[in-house]
Structure 1
């Protein structure tokens, strides 16, 4: 991973022009380098607070200083702005950290970074500032991931759930579980080391199994939030399906309020899936238009249908569009066969044309009622489809309200599954009176899986993958 002995520098604000641009400098030489490029304005240094003897510059920390940024090679001014010093360990990274608040001109920001690199700073890699915060114990790995989720959020509820994890709610839950596990492990280790020789009893009858049952139940409850939690983080995935020429692309365009998908009277126009993102009541919705499902020998269309089936498998909700102007047929039956086990809502399209079948015919044929009838041509009923999306969004939001912690991250979900499996093996071992070292190893496996979520198990490749997803300067 990244070396820690360097002083690193990067622009921390988004690329492009803006009112303010921030350059961040962190590491053992941060204050010394800051003192070489910053000239405080007369009277900007407050009386009294002059830092400590250990600081390379006698400037106050955690105060806003006004001055001029210069190139020390010739003392040429670059910009006027603010300098804020944060002394270790009371900084974001846990190291000495300087923040330069300048005007948001790309040439100005580049000039400041260039000067600092000439003085010995190294350009930061993506996520390196947060990596240093992780290494110095300012955040754990779950909080670091939440910070990146918060930065990347494009919807309010996505940001809200990320902030919840950043504030440590998931981490504190896991710490409580790990404390229980560590106590069980300690007792089993004592039983292995001393129990037989000294005839000591470390558990009341049934106690270990009861405690494991309780812990397994808590892990299972948290895992049950993942389907809705994933939608909070990644967006609710809504897939539009139907037979060819039912009006799927027309509904897709109507929901987006723009002609994103090509619409023609010819069946099979859509050969691949198209995705667009909507924000519905503060939650991201990933809307997917798909190729029509039907038996076909045409190679390209068949490939599109195969991709449709994969999209259905990953969907949180399926919108089934039926052509109300032609009779229900085997192609409709084929669609039902692939979506019957998914949450779906069915809409009869083309109410602007004479109806070929009544809503009751759908109920008789498929055992579930139609959600409604619509016309993508006139816009009739499209608001009802939006109401379905809003209801799905409310379900996700309610899950977040109903639980103290929600799992939103696929990596966390995989770790929790491994932890639950290890705990279940340990419980089975107790019930079948397996040797205590075997039970002990399963308990340790569960603890390692939980540790992996917060980064207390140092797995180099995991850390590399996570911090590489960050932007430079964070």
Structure 2
């Protein structure tokens, strides 16, 4: 069974044919195990050392060893990082020699887990590391970097401190009921302080949920009649020939999906079957799916051509989506006059975006989507943003308890009942940063990581 005090090893870089591979060893025997493979020992001193590695008397490789004394390492333990020549066989050979000399293979995320257990990082920083590694767009990258560094995590500590201050004031009022002049302990003072805390927590939740949507992706359905250029638009957006493009109506009979990264936002694209009246059973299934995707989509890209935008089928489609977030796209606009484009704008009563998707002319559309989801509100605050759903859920529990305490104070409930909710909120904040935790939950958190981190 794996033990937390074992010395562990794992590749810190992908094992592949490359110039350099990095192998990480952590634990109290890290340097001792390394010295079993060298003729010239690595001293017990922080630094870089050029050494030859041996398996018995056989030379294995010449490497650079980076040694960290405990507790001045990422994990808080003695750490050795070996920069060896890359290559699948060579890297695996060195790892196997390390295993033979007393280390065991690390579990996924075990280095980061040890950093947390040894007080080097909190849980928000730990999740930030994972968010950084798996970032899908610039927003996710920035949030991962900020949370990993801990630059905004003090917001949780400040909230905990403020809550404990209120809890303490209330406790004094309970323990010493005759001592009624504790500064800031009147109902009015407590309501004001709790409202400020509620606003701070709700602000983090709001920004975090906005960020989650942008990081996970805006679910975007491309809809329109047959042969208006929906598949060409999908291909132009994802810059590959994923959807089949022909002049035959009804070519897209099912759903084709794609994903694009637009700076701070990821767009999950769905090219739906063209909507039209048809007796084709299979095509009808695709059309019904398209209507369902319109209902579920966060954003609808509604594609029309100049020769069909007024027809009955298009009007019916527009009625399905006009109350949703949408963009009207006038495709195949290459030869249209400004008057014709103005005519389409006037018909819909809103500005349409002109594209020529078959020729890759979609800059107008890209710019509009980026403006619509630029996430300035998230980034300009320069404060804590979470994109982990479990963490957001904990904050929602904090908010619920603080609001419940506020309602109870306003309703003149006994003050000790108010404190019960505030203690719960305070404990949830501690759980958020890992001051209280369940070992099984912690194991599950770190097993989401990649090997070697």
Determine the structure 2 residue equivalent to 1:246: 228
| Kept after mapping to 2: 8 A contact 1:360/1:369 | no
Determine the structure 2 residue equivalent to 1:96: 78
Cα 1:342–1:185 shift into 2, 3 Å:
farther
Count of matched residue positions in the alignment of Structure 1 and Structure 2: 449
Q: Any stretches of 5+ residues in structure 1 without a counterpart? A: 41-56
* Pair 1:399 & 2:378 matched: yes
Determine the structure 2 residue equivalent to 1:302: 285
Q: More deviation in 283-292 or 446-455?
A: 283-292
CA offset digits 1:334-371 (Å, max 9, x no partner):
5434433433221122336889x9656766665x4132
Determine the structure 1 residue equivalent to 2:43: 59
Supply the distance in 1 between the matched residues of 2:277 and 2:166 (Cα, whole angstroms): 57
Residue number among 433, 445, 450 corresponding to 1:466 in the alignment: 445
* Pair 1:318 & 2:300 matched: yes
CA offset digits 1:37-89 (Å, max 9, x no partner):
1233xxxxxxxxxxxxxxxx770432000111111xx2211100111221211
Cα 1:232–1:64 shift into 2, 3 Å:
farther
The 3-state SS of whatever aligns with 2:164 is helix
Cα 1:274–1:396 shift into 2, 3 Å:
farther
Supply the distance in 2 between the matched residues of 1:201 and 1:266 (Cα, whole angstroms): 83
CA offset digits 1:305-357 (Å, max 9, x no partner):
44774576353x432212332243454345434433433221122336889x9
* Pair 1:264 & 2:246 matched: yes
Q: Matches of residues 16-415 of structure 1 in structure 2 within 5 Å?
A: 16-40=16-40, 59-71=43-55, 74-192=56-174, 194-196=175-177, 198-200=178-180, 202=182, 203-230=185-212, 233-235=215-217, 237-281=219-263, 284-292=266-274, 298=281, 301-302=284-285, 305-306=288-289, 309-310=292-293, 313=296, 315=298, 317-351=299-333, 368-379=349-360, 382-392=362-372, 395-397=374-376, 399-415=378-394
Q: More deviation in 429-438 or 396-405?
A: 396-405
Supply the distance in 2 between the matched residues of 1:296 and 1:200 (Cα, whole angstroms): 79
Quote how far apart the aligned CAs of 1:457 are.
Answer: 2.9
The 3-state SS of whatever aligns with 1:120 is coil
Q: More deviation in 164-173 or 275-284?
A: 275-284
Quote how far apart the aligned CAs of 1:292 are.
Answer: 4.1
Q: TM-score, normalised by structure 2?
A: 0.88
Q: TM-score, normalised by structure 1?
A: 0.84
Supply the distance in 2 between the matched residues of 1:147 and 1:467 (Cα, whole angstroms): 10
| Kept after mapping to 2: 8 A contact 1:261/1:274 | yes
Supply the distance in 2 between the matched residues of 1:312 and 1:459 (Cα, whole angstroms): 40
| Kept after mapping to 2: 8 A contact 1:191/1:201 | no
Supply the distance in 1 between the matched residues of 2:408 and 2:449 (Cα, whole angstroms): 42
Q: More deviation in 331-340 or 300-309?
A: 300-309
Cα 1:289–1:200 shift into 2, 3 Å:
same
Supply the distance in 2 between the matched residues of 1:186 and 1:267 (Cα, whole angstroms): 72
| Kept after mapping to 2: 8 A contact 1:426/1:442 | yes
* Aligned-residue CA RMSD (Å): 3.1
Quote how far apart the aligned CAs of 1:416 are.
Answer: 2.2
The 3-state SS of whatever aligns with 1:223 is helix
Supply the distance in 1 between the matched residues of 2:437 and 2:278 (Cα, whole angstroms): 51
* Pair 1:442 & 2:414 matched: no
Cα 1:327–1:22 shift into 2, 3 Å:
closer
| Kept after mapping to 2: 8 A contact 1:231/1:237 | no
Supply the distance in 2 between the matched residues of 1:272 and 1:466 (Cα, whole angstroms): 37
The 3-state SS of whatever aligns with 2:152 is helix
Cα 1:2–1:171 shift into 2, 3 Å:
farther
Cα 1:470–1:330 shift into 2, 3 Å:
farther
CA offset digits 1:158-178 (Å, max 9, x no partner):
323211111113311111111
CA offset digits 1:232-270 (Å, max 9, x no partner):
544555442334443221111122333111123444433
| Kept after mapping to 1: 8 A contact 2:257/2:269 | yes
Q: Any stretches of 5+ residues in structure 2 without a counterpart? A: none
Supply the distance in 2 between the matched residues of 1:344 and 1:146 (Cα, whole angstroms): 33
Supply the distance in 2 between the matched residues of 1:334 and 1:219 (Cα, whole angstroms): 43
